[in-house]
Structure 1
Amino acid sequence: MARKKATPEGCADPEGCQSDPPPGVTGFSETTSHFVGHRERLRDRFRLGGADAMPDYELLELVLFRAVPRADVKPLAKALVDRFGSFAEVITASPGRLREVKGVGDAIITEFKVIGAAVERVTRERLRARPVLSSWSAVIAHCRASMAYAEQEQFRILFLDKRNQLILDEVQQRGTVDHTPVYPREVVKRALEVAASALILVHNHPSGDPTPSNADIQMTKTIIDVAKPLGIEVHDHIIVGKDGHASLKGLRLI
């Protein structure tokens, strides 16, 4: 005779009140379904008011719902925002740092990385839709989505054709928390390989402050000097950080 599955106290439906978390999620224990009403209320608020009507931790809860179907995730959402500072910084944090927060496993990390990848892809496709120089706000949005909250420096190049349409968006180098080695001749060599007529250089400052350094300025001028005789124009060098962005051309540094 089959043994009847034990039902948590106060729960009429064993499936609806299951306390075991899904694979990849750790640190959760929930024996009642009181959080179900909260989830529906939160979803309704999002439908009516959108993300602007919600603080960062509540928006994060909506993402966590997918990875943690049977637990109250509000404490975890608040803990993540407290730890990293904002919704964007949680989504872009490295898997290693995310795992340091109790309750975060592979399922949650995967959801966060899907969100980050989707944002980057959307902003990149907006760049492809029209000439880059006529959609500067889209350029900045893409650069910030891709790099502003990265924990290490990255050097990215936007390769453009004669009509200033995006040919390729490529991270050429990755470095440390405060330095990325950039080789001007390698930059120009890659531009020739993809038949680019112009470049926009981009890198991030993990410190958050996008102010250009003397090394940033000198490196940009060197790339311009190497590229110009080959008919390749450097439109700008943009530096992004969580505190904003800086344009070397806008600052009249190049």
Structure 2
Amino acid sequence: MRLRYHARSLRFDSRGCAGHVAEAARIVELAVDRRPRERLLMAGPTCLTDAELLALVLRTGNGTADAVNLAHTLLDRFGGVLGVLSSTAESLLAVRGLGDAKVAALLAIRELLERAEIEKMKRAPVVSSSDEVRRYLGIHLAGKEREVFGALLLDTRHRLLGVEDIFLGSIDRTMVYPREVAKCCLRYNAAAVVLFHNHPSGSAEPSSSDRELTERLNSVLQEIDVRLLDHVVVAGLRKVSMAERGML
């Protein structure tokens, strides 16, 4: 079958893996063994580019561009895979060619990633790595346009009991009531807690009010014998551990 391309041709190595790829023609015009889905099944997902993997989720294009080209558009617009998966439903729906079905599929992937991280932490003998917590929070808070304050609740052996978003605020502030945080810990019968909140429009550096709040919360939690292990502030890709900064 003769292949036609809009721009440069695809290049493949001996495993059928694509090199640096320009815009391709319609996927259905490609030979079967050159289509993303078939190549993934033959050689594994690492052989596909970000755009090709994303195209498998999108499944179809937008009428003027195939799924791969639509994926390229998304990656360029949102700055890569993380940007796409961190975007809100509203911002995704604003892209021509993304309807409810495609957006729902993208949001489902993000939710599955978050649930996988929770499952992994719950199965771990102990939640001891700050990197592990930061990785989870990066997924959990991705795309949140308002401030969220929450907690990872742990038992006496620092195993994860659950995750709670306790307060939802505006774009730049959240009202946090220590009594409600304490109630949440008691509800889980938690022995330790990692608090977290995000700064959707600012820096991940803890503010003076963040430090004051953490001190108040620490005092309240000590009264109910709950140990505050950390308070993590998230802003975009940055996550700052107040424990590592010596702020607890």
| TM-score normalised by length of structure 1 | 0.77
Distance 1:170 1:35, change over 3 A: farther
The residue number in structure 1 matching 2:228 is 234
1:204-226 C-alpha deviation (Å, 9 max, x unpaired): 22236321111111111110011
Say whether 1:88 aligns with 2:93: no
Identity of aligned residues (%): 33
**Matched ranges for 1:25-40 at <5 A:** 33-34=28-29, 37=32, 40=35
Deviation string 1:186-236 (CA, Å, 9 cap, x unpaired) is: 101111122111110011222363211111111111100111122111100
Is the 1:46–1:54 Cα contact (8 Å) retained in structure 2?
A: no
SS of structure 2 residue aligned to 1:33: helix
Question: Would you say 1:154 and 2:148 are equivalent positions?
Answer: yes
Counterpart in 2 of 1:143? Answer: 137
User: Pick from 193, 197, 214: which aligns with 2:191?
Assistant: 197
How many residue pairs get aligned? The number is: 223
Q: Between Structure 1 and Structure 2, whose CA radius of gyration is higher?
A: 1
Superposed CA RMSD in Å reads 2.8
Structure 2: which 5+ residue stretches go unaligned?
1-24
Gaps of 5+ in 1: 1-29
- Kept in 1: contact 2:138–2:237 (CA 8 A): no
- Pick from 80, 86, 102: which aligns with 1:108? 102
* Aligned 1:200-215 pairs, distance under 5 A: 200-207=194-201, 209-215=203-209
* Counterpart in the other structure of 1:221: 215
| 1: CA distance, partners of 2:98 / 2:144 | 20
2:165 aligned counterpart, secondary structure: strand
Q: Deviations over 1:96-127 (max 9, x none)?
A: 11111111101101110110111000000111
Say if 2:118 is the partner of 1:124.
yes
2:71 alignment partner AA: A
1:10-33 CA distance string (max 9 Å, x none): xxxxxxxxxxxxxxxxxxxx9993
Structure 2 vs 1, CA of residues 39 and 177 (structure 1 numbering), >3 Å: closer, same or farther?
farther
**C-alpha deviation, 1:50, in angstroms:** 3.7
Q: Is the 8 A contact 1:92 1:112 kept in 2?
A: no
Give 1:253 deviation, angstroms: 1.2
Q: 1:201, 1:238 within 8 Å by CA — same for their partners in 2?
A: yes
Give the CA deviation at 1:43. Answer: 5.1
Q: 1:44 to 1:158 in 2, by over 3 A?
A: same
Q: Tell me the CA shift for residue 77 of structure 1.
A: 1.3
- Per the normalisation by structure 2, the TM-score is 0.79
Code of the residue aligned with 2:228 in structure 1: it is V
Question: How far does the alpha carbon of each residue in 1:119-171 deviate from its partner, in whole angstroms, 9 at most, with x for none?
Answer: 00000011101244434332222111111442222112111111111111111
> Using a 3 Å threshold, how does the CA distance of structure 1 residues 46 and 240 change in structure 2: closer, same or farther?
farther
What code does the residue aligned with 1:155 have? F
